[in-house]
Amino acid sequence: MEIKKGIAVSPGVAINQAVVLDAEDYRIPLRHVSPQRIKQEVRRLDQAVTRSRQDLAELRDRARRRLGSETAAIFDFHLALLDDRSLQNKIRKLIRSDSVTAEFAVADVLRGYAKEFLQMPEYLADRVKDVYDIEKRILRHLIGQSREDLARLEEEVVVLAHDLTPSQTANLDRRHVLGLATDAGGRTSHTAIVARALGIPAVVGLNDVTASVNAGDTVIIDGNRGVVIINPDEATIRQHRQYVERIAEFELSLDRLVNLPAITLDGHEVVLLGNIEFPHEAATVIAKGGQGIGLYRTEFLYLGREVEPTEEDHYQAYMQVIHEMQGRPLVIRTLDLGADKYTQERSPVPERNPFLGCRSIRFCFQNLQLFKTQLRAILRASLQGDLAIMFPLITSVMELRQSKMILRDVMEDLEEEGIEVRRDVPVGIMVEVPSAALMCNQLAEEVDFFSIGTNDLIQYTLAVDRANERVAPLFTPAHPAVLRLIKEVIRAGQRHDLGVSLCGEMAGQPEYTLLLIGMGLRTLSVAPPAIPEVKQLVRSMTMEHARRVARTVMAFDNDKQIVSYLRDQSRQVMPEAY
């Protein structure tokens, strides 16, 4: 039995056999297979080599037509190495002799070849890049087969990976994937956000869990405590099954809150909304007692697609959510693309630091047709429900004005085409960078509402990559600088009579509920599974207690002291959750 500690990002406990995914940009771990699977691994290798050969032949022919024979000759070396019988036999021999996966055998043999090239004269040493390219091409086909298998699961499993791409997380089947664990990631990584939205227990930031688990091993994923247990003994399994039953009883007790309002003991109402990534989650928001949707992330339309979604694709997705809402509020965030793998893979020159590059509203400015396509669909849908538009990653008044100008241009285009539009659709912004928080009084004069996006606000304020497991302990909503920025935005909203909500993952962590309400927030938007627990905490507190907590916290000077105090206060209000 082996126990690994990571970051708890989605509550719940899962106990089942493991499926392990590899990633082409990560060290392929040594993983043994049973003797019965050796033939299957050799067959997978042969299929991957055949597909790689087809890829290279197409690339060579295309290069010859466009760039001439000299450039196309680059791929002749790739094909020659790929067709080298001694190379293929070495890989097959390693699979058979050591009972390892095809992925490991390919990586091990080809990296051995790369080392040999590095020791040769310079003109041959340059060939090492070609060897790595061939390795990645074969691995891409091998791993691609694993990803396809993941989409077609027929039995319940827990999934372990170095990390999951947005397209992989978007295609997870909740019926069969009971838990997730990854080497990489933090509390606000894409994998974490999707896992919470789907209600899948998840632990991230485990560093090397994929190297420690073989396919078929029994694994416990504890998304409450941030623990993964590999090959647990019977006593540990029994203990965790009892723990699962206690969690289920607590969650069942929260079901009675679905139709009750989130009102404090002394009569102050709090609006609880849901964050969604996919249209079908709208029904879950209502089922969990949410009063609407405060953040509809729309990037899912681009995940796993070879072509960009059309205006009609956008429109139908938005109309599906509007139909589920039945008049409840819906806030659609415009596209936050640019820092994701989808756009970086399609870029001729991928950015070294995309989170500080051309992402979000900046990406939309540089891809106006894509931006206008989405705005057209949103404006058409706005006639059918209580819909608002929210621009992400606004850093200045000029960016906001430019966004609104493009929106007005789209309105005029639609009207010229005889398509009715709603001219008074509310427009707001995500306050998620320090510059926006510090300029909130000026920005308040130009918008109808603010929504505080703490995921990025924390990242940019503390200079901590939110998806980097190596600095995960430094990523905390409790840092005094972050809390002061949040407080300033709330005050600006009060001064300008603007609605202010908080839609970052911080809102769904119950230990922060007392603080946020005490700071003056009256609207929280959270992942749907978190709604009942946050509502229970609201219904168990008084406003005076919340304000006292906020005053005390704002006097502290370090995050550890703040977190300890907040957990203690929350435990007093709702002991059954701790």
The per-residue pLDDT string of the chain (578 residues; one tens digit each, 9 = 90 and over) reads: 899 999 888 888 999 998 887 655 556 777 888 888 899 999 999 999 999 988 888 877 876 776 566 656 667 778 888 888 888 999 999 999 999 999 899 988 988 877 776 666 554 555 666 787 788 888 888 876 565 556 667 789 999 988 876 656 666 777 889 999 998 888 777 778 778 877 899 999 898 888 788 777 899 999 988 999 999 999 999 999 988 888 888 878 888 889 999 999 999 999 999 999 889 899 999 999 999 999 999 988 886 566 789 999 999 999 999 999 999 999 999 999 876 555 555 555 566 676 788 889 999 999 999 999 999 999 999 999 999 999 999 999 999 999 999 999 999 999 999 999 999 999 999 999 999 999 999 999 999 999 999 999 999 999 998 777 778 788 999 999 999 999 999 999 999 999 999 998 899 999 999 999 999 999 999 999 899 999 999 999 999 999 999 999 999 999 999 999 999 999 999 887 66
Residue 117 has a pLDDT of 67
Active site residues: 190, 503
Q: Measured between alpha carbons, how far apart are the two ends of the chain, in Å?
A: 27
In this structure, how many other beta carbons lie within 10 angstroms of the beta carbon of residue 125?
14
Dihedral sign computed on CA atoms, order 481, 485, 488, 494: negative
Domains of the chain: 2-27+152-250 (3.50.30.10), 35-149 (1.10.274.10), 258-577 (3.20.20.60)
| Residue 525 to residues 69, 273, 504, 516, Cα–Cα distance (Å) | 58, 4, 8, 12
Residue 305 has a pLDDT of 64
Residue 159, H or E segment = strand 157-161
Q: What's this model's pTM, rounded to 2 decimal places?
A: 0.72
Residue 448 has a pLDDT of 97
The interaxial angle of helices 128-151 and 102-118, nearest 10 deg, is: 170
**What is the separation of C-alpha 227 from the centre of its chain, rounded to a whole number of angstroms?**
20
Instruction: For residue 73, give the amino acid letter.
Output: A
Contact, 147 vs 159, CB < 8 A? no
